[in-house]
Amino acid sequence: MFMRIMVCGLNGTGKSTLGKALAEKLHFHFTDNEDLYFSKSDPDYVYASPRTKEEVRPLLLQEIKAHENFVFASVKGDYEDNVYSFFQYVVFIYVPRDIRLQRVKNRSFQKFGNRMLPGGDLFEQEENFFRLVSSRPENTVEEWIKALRCPVIRIDGTKPVEDNIKIIVRKIHSTGGR
């Protein structure tokens, strides 16, 4: 029997980190939404040339159909019902806004270093991204989750990844999953 899990939460909640670790623990395939949206055609800036949601949807469906057991990390999975139906569980990660925003800035600095600081070639792009992340309503993912028909497992993203994986696995087992 197949199992597909979506890990979602706003930027900076740790969905990629948790998703990768969960996939590794369960021996599942892992895909990050960013890998579908950004083709990495520019080695100096991984967020160059973003794809549209319409371009990403068939790529995601390809990934889903290629792997029986799958963990997918995304802010939210608003790809319509034909995608929702493939997921048996959604893991929602919550992290307070101030911690999320600091994590996003730290991650940017780790990736781009001085290039994202004032005077750097990525300063303006990263500042625009920080404004986008900061402007997202806190209930963005919560509102999307209301449309789901599968179980939603809520996780505190400030807790250690290993602890959260134990909670997720226990909840999946308690609801009849593997």
Instruction: Kindly indicate the confidence band of residue 157, based on its pLDDT and cuts at 50, 70 and 90.
Output: very high
- Which has more confidence, 122 or 44? 122
Under DSSP, is residue 70 helix (H, G, I), strand (E, B) or coil?
strand
- 129 is a domain residue: no
- 108 is a domain residue: no
Of 40, 35, 39, 46, the closest CA to residue 71 belongs to: 35
- 80 is a domain residue: yes
Helices (H), the chain: 15-26, 33-37, 53-66, 81-84, 97-112, 123-135, 140-145, 161-174
- 20 is a domain residue: yes
Query: What are the tens digits of pLDDT across the range 88-97?
Result: 999 999 999 9
CB-CB contact of 104 with 12 (8 Å): yes
What total number of domains does the chain contain?
1
- 21 lies in which domain range? 3-96+138-174
- Which has more confidence, 22 or 145? 22
- 10 is a domain residue: yes
Which tokens is 147 given? 């449309």
CATH (domain of 163): 3.40.50.300
Query: What are the tens digits of pLDDT across the range 163-176?
Result: 999 999 999 998 87
- 9 is a domain residue: yes
- 52 is a domain residue: yes
- 163 is a domain residue: yes
CB-CB contact of 164 with 146 (8 Å): no
Instruction: Kindly indicate the confidence band of residue 27, based on its pLDDT and cuts at 50, 70 and 90.
Output: very high
d(CA 55, CA 33): 12
The answer on pLDDT for 39 being more than 80 is no
Which range of 64-68, 150-154, 161-165 scores highest in mean pLDDT? It is: 161-165
Measure the N-to-C terminal CA separation of the chain; round to a whole number of Å. 9
The answer on pLDDT for 47 being more than 60 is no
